[in-house]
Structure 1
Amino acid sequence: MSIAPPGQDAPLTPAGLTDSEATERLRKEGFNALPRDGRRTLPRILADVLREPMLALLLGAGGVYMALGDLKEALVLVAFAGLSVVITVVQETRTERALEALRDLTSPRALVIRGGVRRRIAGREVVRGDLVVLNEGDRVPADGWVAEGQGLQLDESLLTGESVPVGKVACGPSGPGAQARPGGDGLPFVYAGALVVRGTGLCVVTATGPSSEIGRIGRVLSTLETEAPRLQLQTRRLVLGFAAAGLAASLLATLLYGLLRGGWLEAALAGIALGMSMLPEEFPLVLTIFLAMGAMRMSRARVLTRRAAAIETLGAATTLCTDKTGTLTENRMRIEALRLADGRLARRGEGGDFPLAAGFRELAELGVLASAPEPVDPMEVAFHQLAGPQARHNGGRSLVRHYLLDPLLLAMT
């Protein structure tokens, strides 16, 4: 691998791994992705729903009514409980599928060099030893060190919390002497999840997936236990309180009936009936149904609720703070007009065609020469598209030196 620093002779493009080497490492070391043990399958969703104390109370009350021979009351309770279970399971299953689709959609892609050819691959297919090309706006797909860099600055706030970008320096093809931690200027190390805010570079991947710095954070976060929602805790206390009171009243009624009238079977049935009459089965029914209905209403507004209990947290919010991050665009540009030094002007036609006369074609070719040979910036891509494939040969001219935009030189040269 021949690497030259900025301002010196342009280096030859390194070859990187071969396809067979990358495939073998991917087979041995696995995908460049964090473990996803928390994926909720249909049986797990059903088990979580049935563990809710409100539904357990409804099903338990229905079972008692059925044991007592009151089939009508039992069917009503079981039907409402079953309806709530079906609504909740269907809603949360749809949410899980949508989240899976979003994960696949937002999975970062990486520009790697394999066998001397640049290609875009899924970020999860990056392997140790890959050569990754970094450009402005890219997310670093894996940990590594910078072999070639030109004004490279990264936002590592995802790892360090510092929003100020840090500069990266190239350490050459021999690699760094030792590994360092994220943060700090003038280091040759890059980390998965960092955002390239300026410059370009070429990095060699050293760690992927769980072995990366962000993977270690993910392993720590996976050990955290989720706290039960406040509404669930309050309902559980309410249910236990009524259950204790009902049990005490049931035992007292059974004892009094049996001692005073002597019929212990009738006493037991009377005690159970009294205890059941004191259980607030309407409370869990109403709360469960309303949470499920709330999840359905939110889904119509394109708001995904992974757990119905999260609706309680949203309902308890009194202030919502939002941040306008900018206008949604396609991140694509197109040249609409060219103007020569003598004042002549050429505009794109209504059909999108842009015929170039002699002077304007030379201007478009100069725009290509002022852009990167493999453009990523939308403006540079627009110049390449305007000039056409023939301009990529640059008339036999070759890149000698490349100067990035700098406060001392406000132009890319």
Structure 2
Amino acid sequence: MQNLKKSVEIIGLTSNEAKLLQERYGKNNIVPEKKENFIVKILEVLREPMFLLLLVAAMIYFVLGEPRDGIVMLIFVVAVITIDVVQEWKTDETLKALRDLSAPQVTVIRDGVETDIVSEDLVPGDFVIISEGVKVPADGYIIKANDLCIDESSLTGEPINVWKDVITNSNDEYLKKNYCYAGTLVTQGSGVIKVDKIGVETEYGKIGKSVSETQEKITPLKKQVAVLVKVCAYIAVFLFMLVVIITYMNLIECNFKDRLIESILSAITLAMAMIPEEFPVILTVVLSMGAWRLAKKNSLVKKLPSVETLGAVSVLCVDKTGTITMNKMKVKDIWTLNTDIEDFNKAMGMACEIDPYDPMEQAMIEYCERNHITKDMLFSGTLVKEYSFTNESKMMGHVWKKHRHIIIAAKGSPERIMALCNLDNKVRKSVSSKMREMSKRGLRVIAVAKMIIENESDIPKNLEGCSLDFLGLVALQDPPRDTVKEDIKNCANAGIKVVMITGDNGMTASAIAKEVGIAGNENIITGEMIDKLSDEELKEKVKGVSIFSRVIPEHKRRIVKAFQDNGEIVAMTGDGVNDAAALKKADIGIAMGKRGSEVSREAADLVLLDDNFSTIVYTVKDGRRIYDNIKKAIGYVFTIHIPIALSSLLAPLLDISSNQLLLLPVHIVLLELIIDPTCSIVFERQPAEDSIMERTPRNSSENILTAKLLFKSIVQGIVLFIASFGIYYIYLMRYNAPVEVARSMAILIIMISNLLLVQVNSSNTEYAYKSFIKLRKDKVIWSVIVITIASIVILFYTPISLILKLAPLTISEVVIALVISIFSIMWYEIIKFIKNR
């Protein structure tokens, strides 16, 4: 058998050749990308109840013989539609950018160098490097194989892994041993394929396998928002009918047509004020922009709804290697059993892969080379057989033919390797003692053994059939990341339990856990113990345990389920092929972007682009911030709608004519132009409160609009209503001022209060000035302030005021409005002061 480990020199396509081939064959897509229609977007916006009401109001103005008011309404309709479409376009662009970031990548050899490209840019003739955990991106011939095993069940339906080879004698023309197929999964080893077919020409494409995304499920948060909008709509319909009846009865001296139209106009004004059409906008904008901000911090959100779940995480299950530690292994100690050190090092190196991707094997090869044992020395000869590593066996080996001798070099778990060696009890105790001593120092301990045989016919079929000579132990260290201790402390303060799940032995895991400050590091559950526990028993056990050692992926899934059965919201990290089940089971699956397999990234909700524990903590913190900001925005919408709705409801009850209403439909649209960007863009930019990681995780079943938040919004809204409607009523009825002046005073109070409300409601504990200081350099916030002030000047002090039935105010009237606005909003700062005391 030829030595498949020998490197094959590959130059690959040039960039120009690849470009020409893509023009000829197109993209490597099975399902073409759907293009959004701009006209359809506008029509979807026009279907919203708010816009239907606006159009009805405009038509009524035309019927009343007031075309100027009708035209103004239509202008405002266009303005609001433009804002909504632009916001939706920006959101779509953000989501598209996130999809591009999460698009599957492949490593190809072009211009003689390895290059990462997007999978859809593959062309026939490309040389693609595949390894464990990768989905094969196209059909192609295998030109290099290294323990290459592929799961082809997606094509055959048979759950049998197929070992691949460069040379094959197979007569099966459909599934050839030297051929890979798009959509199949590399379960072990690595290799290089030469792309033969792409896109719909692949076997995967021919049989019509759909790779389009599944339809997004409606999340609990979306359901809550939908219910809120529906309830408000029902209330609006009821009040609409009530106002029609009341207004119609009040206009008894008018003719039927005028009474009916005036009644409907008053009712439309109220209905527009009652419908909180901003809620869906808030949800979409805040979640998508939040996901984009996370992506810039190396945390890629693959499933947008998971952003809302982040703030509720109460248990964080993390792998030790590469997440808590740096994933940079280094040989720290060697201990041999009556064996020459050089002989030990050679056996250790020969048990490794030639081109290892495992950090431990890389460290072992590096150690050999530092001790003058080169790769050429280690891997000279012929590779006869390989005993591949599995989660069950926890060991591996290579059979080499060298100088007429056949050497079996093996390494793996000390317990498993010792079971294959003929050692007396005294030696076993000595090895076990040394292993424990190394493990207590936080070192990863691997046993090395070998066996020499004379004839190829005597090679055992598997490693378990070997009778090995025990050579010694190699201890490796993967030091903790610099910031991980502080990060774990922050998690503890936030009420998040950090759980370490590792394939390492318990003592090593416990030593690392103690070093980084994981609570309960003395309590350990092993994989063998899990196997003996029922689901109910495991559910009780996990309550007091933070370390799980010697686990396999199936154990991880059971651990996650046990925590969930206890009512916890679980985030779980994973990087391997077999971690996919646990990642899907977890409330938040977190895959490693650097060392993680494509399958784990596909199964996950989040992908860490830097494999850093600090990024997980930041992601949870920002998840809390995002959820907080959604709540604040929804509370703000209720607050600002209350004075608008009550003004529209109270006027008919007080027998105020439609011409003297505080708010006409055009004024409500005007206020919507301010409310829409404020509730979505401004609140989305609010930074996290200082105490956000000192709270316990929120209850996942908590409603977004809690009784406490609703009560606060109602009180704030009523106070603002009293301030705005009160000044309007006093000016109109007591001072006999023109309705335009009274209306202008009230609207000015609402507009100024809107600016103050954002700052006051940015936190329930921190004072408004702190919020302003945090965002003092934010251009968007300043833009909102400047635009609001400019709008006030334009609306009240230009000819537009006549069109909008407003009037310019004197300096004293502006000061009065400013003072009233401050008192109507800033009183909540006193409540904060009392709470903080």
Give the TM-score band, short-chain normalised.
0.5 to 0.7
Matching residue within 89, 100, 106 for 1:104:
100
Number of equivalences: 360
Bigger Rg, structure 1 or 2 = 2
1:207–1:225 distance in 2 versus 1, CA, 3 Å: same
CA contact (8 A) 1:154 1:168 kept: yes
Q: What aligned pairs does 1:64-103 form with structure 2 within 5 A after superposition?
A: 64-67=59-62, 68=64, 69=66, 82=79, 86=83, 89-90=86-87, 92-103=88-99
Give the residue type in structure 2 aligned to 1:104: D
Instruction: Work out the CA distance in 2 between the residues paired with 1:147 and 1:105.
Output: 30
Task: Measure how far apart 1:97 and its partner are.
Answer: 3.2
Give the residue type in structure 2 aligned to 1:154: I
Matching residue within 350, 353, 376 for 1:372:
353
Matching residue within 135, 157, 168 for 1:139:
135
1:124–1:297 distance in 2 versus 1, CA, 3 Å: closer
Aligned to 1:172: 167
Instruction: Work out the CA distance in 2 between the residues paired with 1:202 and 1:209.
Output: 19
**2:383 aligned counterpart, secondary structure:** coil
CA contact (8 A) 1:143 1:208 kept: yes
**1:412 aligned counterpart, secondary structure:** strand
Aligned to 1:351: none
- Is 1:341 the counterpart of 2:326? The answer is no
User: Is the deviation greater in 171-180 or in 377-386?
Assistant: 171-180
Q: What aligned pairs does 1:23-102 form with structure 2 within 5 A after superposition?
A: 23-33=19-29, 37-40=33-36, 43=38, 46-47=41-42, 49-67=44-62, 68=64, 69=66, 82=79, 86=83, 89-90=86-87, 92-102=88-98
1:138–1:227 distance in 2 versus 1, CA, 3 Å: closer
**1:192 aligned counterpart, secondary structure:** coil
- Is 1:204 the counterpart of 2:185? The answer is no
Give the residue type in structure 2 aligned to 1:377: D
Aligned to 1:381: 362
1:21–1:294 distance in 2 versus 1, CA, 3 Å: closer
Aligned to 2:387: 405
Aligned to 2:180: 190
Instruction: Work out the CA distance in 2 between the residues paired with 1:72 and 1:84.
Output: 18
TM-score, structure 2 length as denominator?
0.34
CA contact (8 A) 1:81 1:285 kept: no
**2:23 aligned counterpart, secondary structure:** helix
Instruction: Work out the CA distance in 2 between the residues paired with 1:390 and 1:22.
Output: 42
CA contact (8 A) 1:373 1:392 kept: no
1:157-183 Cα shifts (integer Å, max 9, x gaps): 7x4696956224337379986345xxx
User: Is the deviation greater in 74-83 or in 131-140?
Assistant: 74-83
Aligned to 2:124: 128
Instruction: Work out the CA distance in 2 between the residues paired with 1:327 and 1:411.
Output: 22
Matching residue within 286, 310, 313 for 2:275:
286
Give the residue type in structure 1 aligned to 2:189: G
**1:26 aligned counterpart, secondary structure:** helix
Task: Measure how far apart 1:273 and its partner are.
Answer: 4.4
Task: Measure how far apart 1:401 and its partner are.
Answer: 0.6
1:300–1:409 distance in 2 versus 1, CA, 3 Å: closer
Task: Measure how far apart 1:119 and its partner are.
Answer: 1.6
Instruction: Work out the CA distance in 2 between the residues paired with 1:199 and 1:227.
Output: 36
1:389–1:8 distance in 2 versus 1, CA, 3 Å: same
Task: Measure how far apart 1:411 and its partner are.
Answer: 1.9
Give the residue type in structure 1 aligned to 2:187: V
1:391–1:103 distance in 2 versus 1, CA, 3 Å: farther
- Is 1:154 the counterpart of 2:150? The answer is yes
Instruction: Work out the CA distance in 2 between the residues paired with 1:341 and 1:223.
Output: 54
Instruction: Work out the CA distance in 2 between the residues paired with 1:214 and 1:275.
Output: 60
What residue ranges of structure 2 are gaps of 5+ in the alignment? 249-253, 294-302, 399-837
Aligned to 2:819: none
1:305-361 Cα shifts (integer Å, max 9, x gaps): xxxxx999x99x9xx9x99986494693412513142799xxxxxxxxxxxxx968x
Q: What aligned pairs does 1:348-363 form with structure 2 within 5 A after superposition?
A: none
1:298–1:24 distance in 2 versus 1, CA, 3 Å: closer
Give the residue type in structure 1 aligned to 2:382: V
TM-score, structure 1 length as denominator?
0.60
**2:361 aligned counterpart, secondary structure:** helix
Task: Measure how far apart 1:132 and its partner are.
Answer: 2.7
Task: Measure how far apart 1:139 and its partner are.
Answer: 2.7
CA contact (8 A) 1:145 1:175 kept: no
Task: Measure how far apart 1:197 and its partner are.
Answer: 1.7
CA contact (8 A) 2:140 2:179 kept: yes
CA contact (8 A) 1:143 1:206 kept: yes
Task: Measure how far apart 1:390 and its partner are.
Answer: 8.2
Instruction: Work out the CA distance in 1 between the residues paired with 2:316 and 2:94.
Output: 25
- Is 1:295 the counterpart of 2:284? The answer is yes
1:269-327 Cα shifts (integer Å, max 9, x gaps): 555445556669727962422222233454576499xxxxx999x99x9xx9x999864
CA contact (8 A) 1:17 1:113 kept: yes
Identity of aligned residues (%): 18
CA contact (8 A) 1:168 1:188 kept: no
Instruction: Work out the CA distance in 2 between the residues paired with 1:163 and 1:223.
Output: 24
1:273–1:370 distance in 2 versus 1, CA, 3 Å: same
Instruction: Work out the CA distance in 1 between the residues paired with 2:292 and 2:141.
Output: 40
Instruction: Work out the CA distance in 1 between the residues paired with 2:13 and 2:374.
Output: 26
**1:37 aligned counterpart, secondary structure:** coil
Instruction: Work out the CA distance in 2 between the residues paired with 1:364 and 1:284.
Output: 79
1:272–1:95 distance in 2 versus 1, CA, 3 Å: same
Task: Measure how far apart 1:57 and its partner are.
Answer: 0.5
**1:128 aligned counterpart, secondary structure:** coil
Give the residue type in structure 1 aligned to 2:24: K
What residue ranges of structure 1 are gaps of 5+ in the alignment? 181-185, 254-262, 305-309, 345-357
CA contact (8 A) 1:80 1:285 kept: no
1:72-120 Cα shifts (integer Å, max 9, x gaps): 7996897699558635742x444433333333333333344557x4623
Instruction: Work out the CA distance in 2 between the residues paired with 1:10 and 1:288.
Output: 63
Aligned to 2:619: none
CA contact (8 A) 1:365 1:394 kept: no
Instruction: Work out the CA distance in 2 between the residues paired with 1:298 and 1:10.
Output: 48
Instruction: Work out the CA distance in 1 between the residues paired with 2:166 and 2:121.
Output: 25
Aligned to 2:650: none
1:141–1:223 distance in 2 versus 1, CA, 3 Å: closer
- Is 1:13 the counterpart of 2:8? The answer is yes
1:171–1:390 distance in 2 versus 1, CA, 3 Å: closer
1:288–1:401 distance in 2 versus 1, CA, 3 Å: same
